[in-house]
Amino acid sequence: MTLLSVNLNKIAVLRNARGESEPDIARAAETCIVAGCGGITVHPRPDRRHVTPEDVMLLADLTRGRVEYNLEGNPFAPARQGYPGFVELVRRAHPTQATLVPDSDGQITSDHGFDLARDSQRLAPLVEELNALGCRVSLFVDAGAEHLELAAKIGAARVEIYTGPYAKAFAANGCERELRACADTASRAHDAGLAVNAGHDLNQRNLAAFRRAIPGLAEVSIGHALIGEALYDGLDRTVRNYLAILRA
């Protein structure tokens, strides 16, 4: 079955809005794990606006030996006060997977993937270093991305398809073109020897059609929609609803 990795960034956003300790990100992670999710995802950013390096280490201990742990981030963002750099965080936390994303410091959310023809040489030594740390590497790519074989060549094990355009098209009742682009990208990634993850704006309405279109989909990372839906239905029930969709 496709693994569900729950992104907890929005829990940290709510906590940080008050500058205190609630909602408790560790309790949220525990709830998701007990509900049956296969992984926990966080995307610590240098400005500490949601998940912090301290959260990263807390969740590393909580998930170890229980579920997969996925750290997302820009490997080129330099270290600064309060943020040791992405590769250093991986070195300290030993996640199952590092998902490399080409976002700038000021981006509200990730909104595009790597250009592998342009970026692969620069990524290669970082991928090698992360692999040496025992971490599976996934590269964030757009649907329709070219040169996927370069991701495999530099040592990445997976790509994560950016599904934002698909989700927007689905909401507008016209997602066929975007879904075909995702399916074609997944097929070409598999041909290159890569496993396929997906994420961004997936929700309970659009996930089933996406999963059906992508045979062998390894993982979906879902946060914003899942946490929003949990405000109405509860976190445990919402995670179980997603798992039911992935099992169907």
Please tell me the distance from the alpha carbon of residue 237 to that of residue 241, in angstroms, as a whole number.
6
The dihedral through the CA atoms of 40, 138, 106, 111 has a sign that is negative
Domain ranges within the chain, ordered by starting residue: 3-247
**Catalytic residue, candidates 43, 50, 160, 178:** 43
Q: What is the DSSP letter of 196?
A: E
Question: Could you read off the pLDDT of 7-45 as tens digits, one per residue?
Answer: 999 999 999 999 999 999 999 999 999 999 999 999 999
From first CA to last CA, the distance across the chain in angstroms is 9
**Catalytic residue, candidates 50, 72, 178, 219:** 72
Question: Could you read off the pLDDT of 170-185 as tens digits, one per residue?
Answer: 999 999 999 999 999 9
In CATH, the number for domain 3-247 is 3.20.20.70
Is 94 a known active-site residue? no
pLDDT at 112: 84
Is 43 a known active-site residue? yes
Is 200 a known active-site residue? yes
pLDDT, one tens digit for every residue, the chain (248 residues) = 999 999 999 999 999 999 999 999 999 999 999 999 999 999 999 999 999 999 999 999 999 999 999 999 999 989 999 999 999 999 999 999 999 999 877 766 777 899 999 999 999 999 999 999 999 999 999 999 999 999 999 999 999 999 999 999 999 999 999 999 999 999 999 999 999 999 999 999 999 999 999 999 999 999 999 999 999 999 999 999 999 999 99
CB burial string 94-127: b at 16+ within 10 A, e below: ebbbbbbbbbeeeeeebeebbebeebbeebeebb
**Catalytic residue, candidates 160, 200, 219, 229:** 200
In this prediction the pTM is 0.96
